[in-house]
Amino acid sequence: MTRLTGTALRVTIFIGETDLWHHKPVYTEIVRRAHAAGLAGASVFRGIEGFGASSLIHTQRLLSLSENLPVAVVIVDSEERIRAFLPHLDELVTEGLVILDDCEVIRYVGREDAR
């Protein structure tokens, strides 16, 4: 089990939920590659409203604009491991925003029976 405490790096990837990589959602491929790379974890969050570089507001309130809602993929691990993972994002994220933040991990505990 990966132990992660103290100083870490968080990468957050903002993309659209309809962004595809080889006919699959980009967020699914990011999570798959993060898992394959042995990173501590990845989570995908679906936004209910937002806009990006296109300046078009996407919202779940209006049916006609509810397509391609914002999605954020958040990954936290050591700086070395996150920076080694960044080339995957260069390949996968053709539209969107990728940001890095320093953070401090206070507690990272998995389930005993998880496998």
In whole angstroms, give the CA distance from residue 52 to residue 70.
9
β partners of residue 64? none
Confidence of residue 21 (pLDDT cuts 50, 70, 90): very high
pLDDT tens by residue, 71-86: 999 999 999 999 999 9
State the CB neighbour count (10 A cutoff) for residue 92.
19
Backbone angles phi, psi at 42, to 5 degrees: -145, 140
Q: Which residue has the higher pLDDT, 104 or 112?
A: 104
Provide the whole-model pTM.
0.85
Per-residue tokens: 25: 């959602």
CA-to-CA dists, residue 48 to 41, 51, 74, angstroms: 23, 11, 17
| Whether residue 9 has pLDDT greater than 50 | yes
| Whether residue 5 has pLDDT greater than 70 | yes
